[in-house]
A and B are shown apart, each in its own frame.
Chain A
Amino acid sequence: MSQAKTLDTSPGTFGERGISVPFTTPMLSQARMRPTRQGELEFLLPSFNGGKGVYIMPWRSLPTMMTVTLHDRLLHEALLDLKDYTPDTVRQAALTIQATGVAGGDASLAAEKTLALDVGYRALTHFTLVTELMRLARLDAGELLATGMTGSESRRLIRASLAQLAQRANLPAEEMVTRVETLANLMAPVGLPQCQQLGRLRILVGEMERMRASVQRWSATDFSEVSQLATFVADTAKAALDMARDRLARLDARCRDLGAMVGDFRAFRAVLAEDATRLAWLLDGWPFLIRLWDSVADRPLESQQSTMGELFRLAPLIPTGEGGKEPSAFELENLGKIQTRWLRMGEDWRTGALDMPAVMRIEALKATSS
């Protein structure tokens, strides 16, 4: 059965906060998901009628409240198939479903493109790691950098280089291959500091900063009470950004010393994984908010005010156990009242009927990038 809580906005950990899921059913949009002890998935739904309250309910309760899109049904199935739940695995599952076309042609093309970019960036991270390690070992990486190679030639050369590195480090060649692959997979979402092309999460930090500054500017020019919501959103973004930048700086410092790879790899991997995972959790949920805010950049003030209410409702607070502030630090009750006053209810939300144009607006946001 569903369980309603109000202003329960400060979970202790990221795990308790759940992972945002890019559903297309308007009432489910950006719901957070977390596995229960019984191995089921439960969903934390942002309040339907304003404020920052949260409804917690298992999937099976949802059909009694609303019609769920086919996209969301398939995405839920894909989530059930996941072995572990992180923002990255959920994102991957969501993109795979989106690529089928179930959320429309544009969203499908965007997902295909993003998935291809992910694969390309993982290869680039792998390649950068190999060339950096070669440089550190004072080995010639010239052959690797030659242009016009086929894929198989390139793979053969990389393997040969890794074998050379393994020999230099007194490691079995296969062990070196595994370590580099593990590290490339771990670091691909962030990107290595040595790589000129930025990784996805690094780009996201930049986009979030742009959005934070824009929302902050907006709060200074809007004379209605909604400006208080904008200040809250900008502050929430700043808190996440500050912590994300710390994590990035730590990751970069560690990755500049890749020599540690040939030492205690388990420990090295663990500290990198901790930072990379925390970074993903800190930024989880923000890509949708950035796109939502961008989508009203040229719209009239009222649309921006209404969207600000939505941003307030969805803005992910950092859990107290992860360094976030106590809820009492935010005058959430007062802000919640403001948001409720500015919330425009479509008729369909009361009946739970599916509002296809609203679904398509969410799909259009998915299509802008992923």
Chain B
Amino acid sequence: MTDPAIAQWQALARDATRLSDAKFLQIYTLLEQLGDKPGIAGAFDAMRPRLAQLRPPRRPTVSRLFFRPAEDLFDDPSVYTRRLQRVSRGTLPTCWKLVRARLDSGLVDGVAQGILKADPRDPRALVKIAAPLWEEGAQVLVKIADEAENNLRFMVDNFGRDDDVLRQIQTLRDVLLLGGIIEDLKQRLPERPIGDLAESHADAIKTVMAQLGGAENPQAAGPLLLVLTARMLRPGVVLKMLTDMRVVGSSQGERDALTRDLSGVVVGNLLRQTASMAKAAVAGPGTTGAPVDPVQKLASLAAVAERLTDGLTSVNDSVASLRDKKIVDRVTTARGEIGEFVLTTVLGDVERTLASLMFADNGGIATPPDEMKRAEATALALKRSAKLASHLGIQREVNAKILEIRREIDRQTDRMIAAPGARGNPEVRRQMFNNLRLVEILAGSDEAERAYREWSRRLG
């Protein structure tokens, strides 16, 4: 497509952003049906900010669908770590280019047509469409890996001289060979990160494990378990399923080897994430230049810390079974790092953030609802940290912080209630309930009730 045509598409897309939501989404759907064309890509760029707000279901491209079963294993090149059975996103474009060139074009076109016709909100339909693509694609990946291994020129031209890329291709191939099974199981399990499993979920995992190789060949479920552990909040749950699996004869050694391998990968990944989290915290705000909302950042950091602590706690048994002092020491160090991270990053300015949201002078008006929501999110982040404190050895510090904030809430409420005209003032009453919300989050409902009785009595 010529440059002026691309510019025209972009201009049209910009005009579309001024339309109503319904019309804008209609245009988006029509553009999507035109498929993967350079001008259309530019139009999507222009529409992206509005799309980010409206979040319509995204129709995948063929390449995106191809890689979907393995997407939980992808890392940005800047944080990618070797030998953890992960895949750098930097490898994917070349990989797809080579796969695409070797796949039967009829198959690729058929998948592209299928995607256009399918409802993007229907993952089952997409699995059906992509099944032959994963099967064929995995075989093609084997050939690409073979060629890269045996043809230095091919290797250097496409991937450089680093052999690690061959391991990444192998991981991709292993996962894609089970693409249909993995995607089918994903739909039957909770959204990632998977927290609790119902009995039906555990049954679904065990059934698939049995189908893949079961007692005789536990290794066959390896790629599936790799993806699952990456999706779980507590990957130790899946590792336990594996160790609980009944195996026979020589398979026991195979099962134990798989457990050890996977435990090593899971622990390695958790350690890697801990290190990158700590590094990101030291480096400060994101690199995009966009202003970072401190409350949002606090909440997401607390969530990450919780996820990592949960993850590490869940693999305790597996780590013990590895009998590897080095890993045990690293896990202990990681806990220390997360604890330090929580202290400096999550807890660092929490009282000031809360004070600026709750106790700024609003001219006698209660904290506005949006500010209040942010204050609640901040208090929740702190509470999340408190739940982790015993695992991380930072109980004293967290409790001191909560106590300090509690005292500040009391001080501010006392001042407000003692001010002239407080009795009968609906804004004072509203702010009293706002403050009670924070007390309830931080100190529990009994404490909130005690404060309510006391403050209500004084307000009359």
Which A positions have Cβ atoms within 8 angstroms of B? 67-70, 73-74, 100-102, 104-106, 108-109, 224, 298-303, 306, 340-347, 354, 356-357, 360
Contact = CB atoms under 8 A, between A and B. Distances in A.
Interface string B263-279: 00000000000000000
Nearest to A101: B433
Given A300-B187, A341-B200, A344-B198, A101 B434 contact: yes
A191 B124 CA distance: 45
Contacts of A345: 196, 198
B376 interface: yes
A301 B452 CA distance: 42
Given A102-B436, A105-B373, A303 B191 contact: yes
A300 B429 contact: no
Given A101-B430, A101-B437, A104-B376, A69 B445 contact: yes
Given A341-B198, A344-B196, A354-B445, A102 B437 contact: yes
27 contacts: A67-B444, A67-B446, A68-B445, A70-B448, A70-B449, A70-B452, A100-B429, A100-B430, A102-B433, A102-B437, A104-B372, A104-B376, A105-B434, A106-B373, A301-B124, A302-B187, A302-B188, A302-B189, A303-B191, A306-B198, A341-B198, A342-B199, A342-B200, A343-B198, A344-B195, A356-B440, A360-B376
A356 B383 contact: yes
Contacts of A343: 198-199
B445 A67 contact: yes
A342 B189 CA distance: 10
Nearest to B383: A356
Contacts of B203: 341
B369 interface: yes
Contacts of A298: 121
A313 to B, nearest CB: 13
Greatest chain A CB density within 10 A among B187, B200, B201 is at: B200
Nearest to A345: B196
B98 interface: no
A301 B187 contact: yes
Contacts of A73: 445, 449
A69 B440 contact: yes
Contacts of B369: 105-106, 108-109
Q: Which 5 A-B pairs have the closest CB atoms?
A: A105-B369, A101-B433, A341-B200, A344-B196, A70-B448
Interface in B347-389: 369, 372-373, 376, 380, 383
A356 B376 CA distance: 10
Given A302-B188, A343-B198, A356-B441, A70 B383 contact: no
A99 to B, nearest CB: 10
Given A303-B190, A306-B198, A341-B200, 11 more contacts: A67-B444, A67-B446, A74-B452, A104-B373, A106-B373, A300-B123, A302-B188, A302-B189, A302-B191, A344-B190, A344-B197
Contacts of A224: 188, 200
A357 B123 contact: no
Greatest chain B CB density within 10 A among A69, A102, A106, A354 is at: A102
Contacts of B121: 298
Contact of B196 (A69, A102, A347): A347
A346 B316 CA distance: 21
A342 B201 CA distance: 7
Interface of B: 121, 123-124, 187-191, 195-201, 203, 369, 372-373, 376, 380, 383, 429-430, 433-434, 436-437, 440-441, 444-446, 448-449, 452
A342 B437 contact: no
A264 to B, nearest CB: 45
A301 B440 CA distance: 34
A104 B200 contact: no
A232 B329 CA distance: 54
Contacts of A108: 369, 433
Contacts of B434: 101, 105
A367 to B, nearest CB: 10
A263 to B, nearest CB: 46
A206 to B, nearest CB: 23
Contacts of A357: 380
A255 to B, nearest CB: 38
B53 to A, nearest CB: 15
Contacts of A301: 123-124, 187
B199 A340 contact: yes
B433 A354 contact: no
Nearest to B373: A105
Given A100-B429, A300-B123, A70 B445 contact: yes
Contacts of A303: 190-191
A144 B449 CA distance: 50
A208 B373 CA distance: 31
A52 B433 CA distance: 35
A343 B187 CA distance: 16
A360 B433 CA distance: 15
Nearest to B187: A301
A300 B444 CA distance: 33
A138 B360 CA distance: 62
Nearest to A354: B445
Contacts of B200: 224, 341-342
A108 B430 CA distance: 10
B205 to A, nearest CB: 13
Greatest chain B CB density within 10 A among A108, A302, A342 is at: A302
A35 to B, nearest CB: 24
Contacts of A300: 123, 187, 191
A312 to B, nearest CB: 13
Contacts of B372: 104-105
Nearest to A102: B433
A186 to B, nearest CB: 31
A179 B417 CA distance: 45
Nearest to B442: A356
B331 to A, nearest CB: 22
Nearest to B446: A67
Contacts of A105: 369, 372-373, 434
A360 B440 CA distance: 12
Contacts of A109: 369
A341 B199 contact: yes
Contacts of A354: 444-445
A356 B430 contact: no
A346 B434 CA distance: 27
B187 to A, nearest CB: 6
Contacts of B199: 340-343
Nearest to A70: B448
A362 to B, nearest CB: 14
Contacts of B436: 70, 102
Contacts of A360: 376
Nearest to B55: A298
